[in-house]
Amino acid sequence: MSSESVALSIAGSKARRFKDKLVKYSVTTGGALVLVALLLIFFYLLYVVKPIFHGASMDATGAVTLPVQDNTLLLGSEEQNEIGYRIGDSGQVSFFAIKQNNGYQSGQLIKQFQLDGELTAFSRSHGDEPSMVFGRRDGQVQLVRPGFAVSYPHDKRLITPELKYPFGEAPIAVDPQGKALSQVAFESDGSKVVIAAMTEDGRGVLSVLGGEQNFLTGEIEWSSSQYAIPSLPRHVEQVLMTPNLRTLFLRDGNRLSVYDIRNPDEITLRTVLEIGSRDGKVTRVELLSGASSLLVGNDNGVISQWFEVSRDGKREFTHIRDFNASGPVSELAMETHRKGFVATTTNGKVEFFHTTGATRLLSETLDTHELNGVALSPRNNLLMLEQGNAIHLFKVDNEHPEVTWSALWHEVWYEGYPEPQFVWQSTSASNDFEPKLSLVPLAFGTLKASFYAMLFAVPLGVAGAIYTAYFMSAGLRKVVKPTVEIMAALPTVILGFLAGLWLAPLIEDHLPGILLMLVLLPLGMLLTAMSWQGLPARLRQWVPEGWHAIVLIPVLLLLGWGAVALSPLLETWLFHGDTRSWLTNDAGIKFDQRNSLVVGIAMGFAVIPTIFSIAEDAVFSVPKHLTQGSLALGATPWQTLSRVVILTASPGIFSAVMMGLGRAVGETMIVLMATGNTPIMDFSMFQGLRTLAANIAVEMPESEVGSSHYRVLFLAAFVLFVFTFVFNTLAEFIRQRLREKYSSL
């Protein structure tokens, strides 16, 4: 070899080695970047989800000392936590600065108002703008509301406290006899005010005020009517009323009398409940936010929740769950627009609870055991505790109390539900809505959709792949394989559109025929094969070897058309002319037009190309010497297929199935458009579902960034990520075992 040839050879070897190393490092870098991307997704999901599992905390931010000489009836603050107020039993209303702002120093007394008359009773309403009612010794009441006017002088926000009289400054007569009021409660729906009062001589009076607008002055003129409350307990210690003006509660010790006051002319005693816990005495009863639940505090530390449950056609108050405080319950403060509350105990404990998750979120011990009042701010981020003349302020961090492991994965007894259930219902038109964030219906829907899709796709995809790779002629295979693979390029939104608007109504209108088709098509294929074998050899030779599938096409089309054509006859003969009514009324099976059967067919159609392509490549790649050796030893083609080809190709076939399953689990548009998107747990093929992926697609655009709903949607994405990771890991493990087992063939 000449020196020039040697030089070229060396140069070529160096260039080849350089290219090899370049490709090696490029592939390695690409693989590493893929892993890094997956890890970044994983950790970002955890980063967004992590805050929902943080516990509650409270940090002291200061104290306000007021020169007061009376007992506290109520503490509160405006929404920005800049100005607070205190109402005493002498009728004095004091507004003070919580923090330095608006020209006021922290703790500075801003304004004071004094109500007239001798006050003997007090209560507050429930709702977005709670008002206060003061019962007086002369049988009258005064209705007031703390107000905060916002202005912007010199482009700076100024909050000015004021005392409003939403129903006029004049006192309202409640008791016609003018006796002192010992207990009082009131609520209003804007056009009507209802006041319930107990007098010192043991009578119960319900006063109803109706308002009419004077068309000349524009003012609302109020007229009142008084009604006697019948069947009173011996000694009423507490009066509560629901904001819908339907129910009145009177507590006598551990007994709670429930009255229906919808018709004041016919006030009826609905029931009497024993609400005390075992070996406990009731100390306080309060309405939870939304006024659907009662919270009952006891001197043994038990706090019980009660709400109405429908049973035997009647709604009855039922004991739902208990919370255990660290001592005798002295005060209960409700969160605004959330199902949480704060309990204080006589031994100096302050504890945060949430009813949906049935959890205690925080327990703190104070320096002193003597508490005069407790309140939460409208945004639930400021806690006010009065001890002596000092009002202690605590910053509260409790952003996601409704999200707990129990609420996500266990059955929860929600307000108004007949029993504990798995429910996903994240939003409502009401501010007092109880979020229902169980992921179980979504995970169930994901697995259900995947099951029906795989039930449709696996037999067709795997069987079609085996036939195409092993029995079909090379010429026909060159047409069939690309045709099936190109199906994977169809946009899933088109498949979902067709499934929801064309396939779902078609199945509903021809349900007997569709079900008959599931039986006729396999049976027709078997009968056709048996008939084919019975034909003379000269007729069978007309079809070349490997082209026999062509014979089945007209048979399948004819059977499919026949099943649909027979559908009206079957519907009339077997189902009284209406299959849907028969399923619902006679069989007790609910039927939704967009159901799991539709999803199974549509999503199975999308999954088949993936399964078919990978499985066909696995079967076709089986070495020819294995099949030829088996046939040479006398095995039939079917024996060779079942004992050599399928076993050798089993790792690839299993990978195809698992790839199809991963595709089905993560599918979004088809299940979004082809199902009713109802998060119910019913395995029936005639019921709808909601999957994790579809739920994220539907609700993420409307969720508030950083809210519990927003973070739970990211948790759903994390669960979906874990699903696919587990499935792929399991698939790889089984595939390796199959490869090791059959590699010796």
Cα atoms in the 13 Å half-sphere on the side-chain side of 559: 19
- List CB contacts of 15: < 8 A, sequence separation 6 or more: none
Q: Give the residues of the chain that fall short of pLDDT 50.
A: none
Supply the DSSP string of 381-430, one letter for each residue. Answer: -EEEEEETTEEEEEEEE-S-TT--HHHHHS-B--TT-SS-B--EE---SS
Buried b (16+ CB within 10 A) or exposed e, 237-255: bbbbbbbebebbbbbbeeb
CA 152 to chain centre: 41
Distance CA 105, CA 128 (A): 28
Tell me, what's the pLDDT at 576?
A: 83
Closest CA to 424 of 664, 699, 697, 674: 699
Tell me, what's the pLDDT at 225?
A: 87
CATH code for residues 464-742: 1.10.3720.10
Closest CA to 380 of 368, 362, 365, 405: 362
621-648 residue pLDDT tens: 888 888 888 888 888 888 888 888 888 8
Ranges of each domain in the chain: 77-168, 180-274, 281-407, 464-742
Total residue length of the chain:
745
The label of the residue with tokens 């079900």 reads 515
The CATH T-level fold of domain 77-168 is Thrombin, subunit H (2.40.10)
Tell me, what's the pLDDT at 239?
A: 94
Tell me, what's the pLDDT at 368?
A: 63
* CB-neighbour burial class of residue 311 (10 A; exposed 0-12, middle 13-18, buried 19+): exposed
The pair of structure tokens assigned to 45 is: 């999901």
Tell me, what's the pLDDT at 287?
A: 94
721 in Cβ contact with 42 (< 8 Å) = yes
Distance CA 255, CA 261 (A): 19
3-state helix, strand, coil in the chain (%, to 5): 40, 30, 30
- List CB contacts of 633: < 8 A, sequence separation 6 or more: none
SS3 520: helix
Beta strand pairing call for 57-65 and 390-397: antiparallel
230 in Cβ contact with 267 (< 8 Å) = yes
Tell me, what's the pLDDT at 218?
A: 59
Output the pTM of the full model.
Answer: 0.87
315 in Cβ contact with 271 (< 8 Å) = no
The label of the residue with tokens 């202005």 reads 151
344 in Cβ contact with 371 (< 8 Å) = yes
Supply the DSSP string of 316-362, one letter for each residue. Answer: EEEEEEEEE-SS-EEEEEEPSSSSEEEEEETTSEEEEEETTTTEEEE
Buried b (16+ CB within 10 A) or exposed e, 479-510: ebbeebeeeeeeebeebbbbbbeebbeebbbb
- List CB contacts of 628: < 8 A, sequence separation 6 or more: none
Distance CA 454, CA 12 (A): 52
Tell me, what's the pLDDT at 743?
A: 64
The label of the residue with tokens 């669960």 reads 719
Tell me, what's the pLDDT at 9?
A: 63
Beta strand pairing call for 329-334 and 340-345: antiparallel
Q: Which phi and psi angles does 73 have, rounded to 5°?
A: -100, -35
∠ CA 117-123-125, rounded to 5°: 125
31-55 residue pLDDT tens: 899 889 988 998 999 999 999 988 8
- List CB contacts of 318: < 8 A, sequence separation 6 or more: 306, 307, 308, 309, 311
CA distances from 673 to 664, 677, 694 (A): 15, 8, 9
Distance CA 297, CA 254 (A): 10
CA 593 to chain centre: 24
Distance CA 686, CA 321 (A): 35
Distance CA 311, CA 292 (A): 17
Closest CA to 274 of 291, 296, 289: 296
Distance CA 698, CA 206 (A): 48
Q: Which phi and psi angles does 223 have, rounded to 5°?
A: -125, 140
Tell me, what's the pLDDT at 638?
A: 87
* CB-neighbour burial class of residue 475 (10 A; exposed 0-12, middle 13-18, buried 19+): exposed
Closest CA to 205 of 160, 239, 255, 256: 239
The pair of structure tokens assigned to 715 is: 């948790």
CA distances from 267 to 72, 247, 255, 263 (A): 33, 10, 19, 6
CA-based radius of gyration for the chain: 37
Distance CA 608, CA 231 (A): 71
CA distances from 154 to 102, 151, 158, 695 (A): 12, 10, 10, 48
598 in Cβ contact with 504 (< 8 Å) = yes
Sign, Cα dihedral of 736, 737, 738, 743: positive
Of the chain, the end-to-end C-alpha distance in Å amounts to 46
CATH code for residues 281-407: 2.130.10.10
